[in-house]
Amino acid sequence: NQGKSMTDHLQYKVQDNIATLTLHRPDVRNALSPEMLDAMVEQLNAIQADTEIKVVVLTGHGDSFCAGGDIKAMKEAVEKKSPMIAKYSLYDGIQRIPRLLVDFDKPIIAAINGPATGAGLDIACHCDFRLASDEARFAESYVNMGLVPGAGGCWVLPRVVGLPMALELAFSANLIDADEALRIGLVNHVYPKKDLMEETYKLARKISRKAPISVRLIKRAMYQGMNMDIRAHLDQISSHMTLARASEDHSEAVNAFLEKRYPEFKGE
């Protein structure tokens, strides 16, 4: 089953309970546009509400993942907007994406096919994990433009790679390759470019077959637990566990285990 976006700047499809969002402005290395952001917000909200969709894949068209902000649009913003209008344009523009993804409780995988820089890197880091092509490159490049990370980079990057490495990436704007990204924990896996999407969908299908209530509660507990003390976290988990135990998924899994119907329970 297929879906259609409200703009050519974002392609959308659904297959095997997996939704794929493809950033699609290849002439500007998939730089973000207002139309693309509007479509992303619309599609992510629709995906969140669609019980048939279990996993989301975010990728870029062609040779780039996302070059971040459109430099031409930045110049126009400086020339035409007062500081206050520019502030709210940012809040009501790109910053909708990190606000939405913080509360998005389905797994979302960034399949980074090529360079991810600036806001493109920030958005990738707001995904749950990142699989990279061996041709991918990464830079927190705002400082080169005399700017600060505008899409939640200062919040999310330290949570992904740790504070010292995040500061080094942001201060230096160094462009790092896929192997270095793997070494510092920025990405989970690196694959040859020709294999990236196959490997991404292999993992997405595996996750999509797991109990959806369990997956969503685990995601919520992990992210919220990063901002809780252990007692608050354990109190939350006791509530989540009660919900999970009441689900049909749990009952079926227990019966399957006892009846040895699942290959993983047979040692296969």
Q: Which of 192-206, 220-234, 253-267 has the lowest mean pLDDT?
A: 253-267
Predicted local confidence at residue 135, as pLDDT: 97
Chain mean pLDDT for the chain: 91
**How far apart are alpha carbons 100 and 39 in whole angstroms?**
13
In the block, tokens 């990738």 appear at 124
pLDDT of residue 253: 84
Top pLDDT among 267 and 59 is at: 59
Per the model's pLDDT, the better-predicted residue between 78 and 123 turns out to be 123
Q: What is the mean pLDDT of residues 139-167?
A: 96
Model confidence at 5: pLDDT above 60: no
Phi, psi of 97 (to 5 degrees): -70, -55
Q: Tokens 């119907």 correspond to what residue?
A: 261
Are 140 and 119 in contact, with CB atoms under 8 Å apart?
no
Return d(Cα 42, Cα 36) in angstroms, integer: 10
pLDDT at 212 over 60: yes
**Once rounded to an integer, what is the mean pLDDT over residues 116-145?**
97
What DSSP string runs through 97-140? HHHHHHT--S-EEEEE-S-EETHHHHHHHHSSEEEEETT-EEE-
41 CB-near residues (< 8 Å, 6+ apart) = 96, 97, 100
**Is pLDDT of 268 > 50?**
no
| In the predicted structure, residue 20 carries a pLDDT above the cut 70 | yes
